[in-house]
Structure 1
Amino acid sequence: MKKQELIHLHGLLAEVSNYYDQNAAEDVDLDEYEDLGVRPTSIHKSKTDHKAAVFALAGGITSTMATEDEEESEAVPASAD
């Protein structure tokens, strides 16, 4: 993946995180992401820094969603068309 594409993905994940923070009952754990100090607008940072930020951001979002799913586990019946 090119650096420009990685920065774009970083920006999209940041938007998902912001949306989730505003609309979810639980806050997204972004401690690891915040510690990196790399934002989508940090275009001077290296590709490796953005890659680490993307993984940290995605990890925080998915772990929060998984925790929320465990709390709200509701059986959904399978259906066929």
Structure 2
Amino acid sequence: MLLVHIKKYYETTTGETISTDQYNALHISPVHIHKNKVTHKKAILTLGNEIVQHIRANHNPYIEYHADFQSSERVATEH
């Protein structure tokens, strides 16, 4: 249920629609309590993957490297 809420929140705040064709093809939702655990796990992983793929494809994060710590270390931060 949490991923469904994350998807809806993301779509509401960005105005973008996340395509969830693979998730929808499974014909399972969080309220289908009669489905088995393996089916729910597959649905969760599929929905999560589609959300992440959409964000990666549509948003290029700005990555900056900091060398403030030691001369041999660099730390990446994402904005």
TM range (shorter): 0.7 to 0.9
Name structure 1 gaps, 5 residues minimum: 1-10
- When Rg is computed on C-alpha atoms for both structures, the one with the higher figure is 2
**Partners in 1 of 2:18 and 2:66 — Cα distance?**
30
Q: Deviations over 1:28-71 (max 9, x none)?
A: 1200001111101111111111011001100111001101223x
**Count of residue pairs the alignment pairs up:** 69
**Partners in 2 of 1:79 and 1:64 — Cα distance?**
31
Greater helix proportion: 1
Name structure 2 gaps, 5 residues minimum: 69-79
1:63 paired with 2:53, answer yes
Equivalent residue for 2:31, pick from 29, 41, 45: 41
Give the TM-score normalised by the residue count of structure 1: 0.71
Greater strand proportion: 2
Q: CA deviation at 1:79?
A: 8.0
Aligned residues: CA RMSD = 2.0
Q: CA deviation at 1:75?
A: 4.8
**Partners in 1 of 2:3 and 2:44 — Cα distance?**
7
4+ long deviations beyond 6 Å: none
1:30 paired with 2:20, answer yes
**Partners in 2 of 1:15 and 1:65 — Cα distance?**
16
Q: CA 1:57 to 1:77, structure 2 compared with 1: closer, same or farther past 3 Å? A: same
